[in-house]
Structure 1
Amino acid sequence: MKLRTLLLAGTALIAFSASALADNASVESRLDALQKLIENQQAQIEAQRSEITNLKKALGGKKGKAPSPASSVAVAPPPPSPQAAPAVETKLAEQQAQIDTLTQQLEADENSARLAKQEAPTVSMAGGRPTFTSADGRFSLAIRSLVQYDLAHYMQPGKAQSLAAANGPDLSSGGNFRRAWFGVQGKVFGDWSYYLNYDFGGGGGTETPGHVQQLWVQYDGLGPIALRIGAFTPSNGIEDATSSGDTIFLERNAVAEMARNIAGGDGRNTISATYSADKLFAQITYTGNKIQDSGAFDEQQAVTGRLAGLPFSNDSTKLLLSAAGSYVFKVADAAAGQGAARTITLNAPPEITVDNTGTKFVTSGSLNAERVWQYGLEAAAEWQSLYTQAGYFRYGVDLRANAGAYGFGGWYGQASYLLTGESRPYSAATASFGNPKPRIPFSLSGGGWGAWEVAARYSDLDLNDHAGMKGAALPTGGLRGGEQKAWTLGVNWYPNQALKFEAQYQNVGIDRLGTIPAAGTKPAVNNAFVGQSLNIIALRSQIAF
């Protein structure tokens, strides 16, 4: 009776547990229930096996020896029949089969739970950037953003009011969103990467409805060599390769800015091959127009290239050398037809872009060009918290119909020092330096003040070519594009990796000859000085991830 009770209880427990597990939606709860059930069944089997062994011993004893009358009287009730043991063993076999089935189900559920955990993507927030990565690392998606809000106040001399509109008689103080980038970046199937970035900001004091800033795909399956196609910024030197969110000042220096936009700059249609290693960087590209360009029929065609390396590098000191250049062998046609003009204009802003008139103090004007070229030599050195950078650039324009050529030049130098002891990190992927990472992020409760940096820069961009003298006519073949000399002092605060605040003072001097327009009873004055010297105070707030 005891054995039957145990068997019935075991069978009922199996039926009840199976029903309960079927209704349980939680995998872990089901696993626990199955595990407990198997343990209970195994305990019952061991108890039943022990009882069978005792029964067999009892039966064997009876076969070998006849009971005495005394013992017959003493033992009650009579021993079980010999047929009971096989029946119990059959029940045990059935119960063992049920346990085997439950064990297989338990193992399958454990495998499913383990695979589900392995296949779940990981989420990280390094540097404030949300990044989703598959368990095998072959797929990723990072949300990217860069938002910069600028304020600027222009202080111009009174005599500037008499200048022509093109010479900037009255620049507009105020503010604008210099950049408002939102995009995604990542990789697919391990060997492919991508980047889509949209910009709703803009220079010249006016935000745009939005345009593609970068949109490309890249093959990374060739080790240090990457092949990329799409719209992006080809590398054209240290200053150009420095991310727009990592520049020391609000804007790149005018010398490098003009060079990068001849055949590069944001949103340039490009095909590139890039080699990047710890101490060597090389890139060759074929470029067309910028995707936001308008007014062109047949697009511009050009090649650009850059070679950079670290001849000396250790934990505290780095020396970076860079040579880059562009060659435009086909200037964009202004309209259809073989005789259409192919014009290009070389210019640069005064290293600040809040003014909504879009004034460029120095400019070549529209040139009907056959070919355009530029090259730049740059160097950057870092020693602990001190960073220095300098560059020299040359530009050339060959006019159509053998009408001559123009040559221009410029140079710059800048330095910064981190008062809080950090240094600017080097990126081998771009052969440039980035924003420092604060040792102790700003926190009123934690006592940190972030990273503080002071900086200075001087740049000289000369777009004069045989400009002649004041009061004298422009010499034949000459060009009066003007010369811009700018001093900049800045203070930067990095509360943490994502935030940056900048304050800077500029003195911009323009040396240019041209025409002062007539005003009232005053006649126009030709071959006059149309330059000026102005001061600019600017602030920037930035968040980037």
Structure 2
Amino acid sequence: MRFERVWWGALSLLAASPAWAADGYSVLGDWPVKATSESGIEAGLKGNLSYDVARFGGADGGAFADDDAWRRQELSAFVRKPGMFELALGYDFRNEVWLDNFVRISGAAGDLRIGQFKTPVGYEESAVSTTATTFMERALPVTAFYAGRRLGADWTYEKIPNWYLNAAVQAGGDLLGDNRGRTLGARAVFNPVKDENQVLHLGLSASNEKRDDDSLRLQVRPEAFLAARRLVDTGALNRVEGIARYGVEAIWQRGPLLLQSEYLRIGVDRDGVADYSADGYYLAASWVLTGEKRGYKSAAFGNLKPRRDWGAVELAARYSHIDLDDAGVALGGRQRDWTFGANWYLGQHFRLQFNYVWAEARRRGTGLDPQIAQLRAQIYF
């Protein structure tokens, strides 16, 4: 069984680590993936290799095929001098997409970035690294409404205490030549509480997109990458004049407890036909049994760094809901997912994730309710 192979592989890593440490190096410790010159210029690599295994069950599990495959094969390089400049180049070889590729200049007036980067609406996608997600996949509305990466320029300002401000102008699509059009977006985050023990994060975001092809389609699979079918789907919406996205995010971390929620809405203006709108939200909670807490920087929570040789353990639960029905326009369907997760952080660069997803979807009078058990083995640096 694939589950067993991944599990025993993780235990082998844990067992091998002390032997490696005897020679002055631990496979579960920090890795030398960055070099710093005498002038303070840093050059390094970032990577994320994730392999997934999924098993489908429940009354409708037979509508899906058990599978295993690479989820991501991301590799990025950077050169930077903190507080002055950064050059980044990244590619996902599994999904054959360019990642963040940009030049950033930093100064007293904030950070100016030019290149390809994420659009600002959808906290889990726009702000959280793929190596720091609590669950294996983002929540339903984030996946469905997120606009992806675009070429453009943005400005970020963090010099007002407890505030994070970001505004972007993106045009011309992305580096693959897709998603041509223009997007204006902004995100603002306020921290009424931020100290060593707790962080309260309150955020608003919005964007307006004009696509050159005047079309849009919203669809989403259950919160499992290896689920090939989309359970809710608007079909193609044509004669689209503009797409407005809105997001509200609220997150509270106190020690090892993290509570997170987000509401997203999309409105589609159409020429000569009825407009369309849809929305969704999620509520999530996680508890680190071993006591660690996530770092917080630039209005986003990062990954855990275990304090013990054998790692850190985290339990999590999430409820997601999305509504793609708009009477008289599109009956895309409604879906809700319950996801329960457990994460084992083996040192600073290895993680095992287990998620159990119970999905319920209804579209045009029919429905599917698959249950999914999935496991991910991840190496990140």
Q: TM-score, normalised by structure 1?
A: 0.61
1:352 aligned residue: 224
How far apart are 1:533 and its partner, in Å? 0.8
Aligned mate of 1:235, from 104, 117, 120: 120
State which structure, 1 or 2, has the greater radius of gyration over its C-alpha atoms.
1
Q: Is the 8 A contact 2:121 2:245 kept in 1?
A: no
Deviation, structure 1 residue 172? 2.8
Q: CA RMSD in A?
A: 2.0
1:258 lines up with 2:139 in the alignment:
no
Task: Indicate conservation of the 8 Å contact 2:121/2:187, yes or no.
Answer: yes
1:303 aligns with one of 168, 172, 184? 184
Q: Residue 108 of structure 2 aligns with which residue?
A: 223
CA deviation map 1:73-115 (0-9, x unaligned): xxxxxxxxxxxxxxxxxxxxxxxxxxxxxxxxxxxxxxxxxxx
Q: Distance in 1 between matches of 2:32 and 2:318?
A: 31
Q: CA offset at residue 212 of structure 1? A: 1.7
For the residue of structure 2 that corresponds to 1:136, the secondary structure is coil
Q: Is the 8 A contact 2:247 2:265 kept in 1?
A: yes
Which residue in the other structure is 2:212 paired with? Answer: 332
The equivalent residue for 1:249 is: 135
Amino acid at match of 2:218: L
1:322 and 1:433 map into 2 onto residues whose CA distance is: 13
Match in the other structure for 1:532: 368
Matched, 1:403 2:273: yes
Which SS does the other structure have where 1:228 is aligned?
strand
Alpha-carbon distance in structure 1 between the residues aligned to 2:249 and 2:83: 35
Task: Give the structure-2-normalised TM-score.
Answer: 0.87
* 8 Å contact from structure 1 (residues 415, 455) kept in 2: yes
Instruction: With a CA cutoff of 8 Å and minimum separation of 6, indicate the structure with the bigger relative contact order.
Output: 2
* Equivalences, count: 350
Which of 30, 36, 53 is residue 151 of structure 1 equivalent to? 53
1:491 to 333, 338, 342: 342
Per-residue deviation, 1:349: 2.4
User: Which whole-Å CA distance do the structure 2 matches of 1:189 and 1:483 have between them?
Assistant: 45
Structure 1 unaligned spans of 5+: 1-124, 162-169, 203-209, 334-341, 443-449, 467-476, 514-528
CA contact (8 A) 1:237 1:322 kept: no
* 2:325 aligned with 1:440: no
What amino acid does structure 2 have at the position aligned with 1:351? E
Distance in 1, matches of 2:109 and 2:128, equals 20
Find the aligned partners of 1:249 and 1:485 in 2 and give their Cα distance.
16
Shift of 1:460: 0.3
> How far off its partner does 1:293 sit?
4.9
3-state SS, counterpart of residue 344 of structure 1? coil
Q: CA deviation at 1:512?
A: 1.1
Cα distance in structure 1, aligned partners of 2:252 and 2:140 = 21
**Partners in 1 of 2:151 and 2:55 — Cα distance?**
35
* Counterparts of 1:134 and 1:494, CA distance in 2: 31
The alpha carbon displacement at 1:198 in A equals 1.2
Q: What pairs with 1:143-542 in structure 2 (closer than 5 Å)?
A: 143-155=45-57, 157=59, 170-187=63-80, 191-202=84-95, 210-220=96-106, 222-223=107-108, 225-240=110-125, 241-261=127-147, 265=148, 267-277=149-159, 279-288=162-171, 289-294=173-178, 299-328=180-209, 330-333=210-213, 342-355=214-227, 357=228, 359-368=229-238, 369-400=240-271, 402-427=272-297, 429=298, 431-442=299-310, 450-466=311-327, 477-513=328-364, 529-542=365-378
Partner SS, residue 256 of structure 1:
helix
Native 8 Å contact 2:206 2:245 kept in 1: yes
Percent identical among aligned pairs is 30
CA distance in 2, matches of 1:255, 1:275: 27
Q: How many angstroms apart in 2 are the aligned matches of 1:511 and 1:367?
A: 20
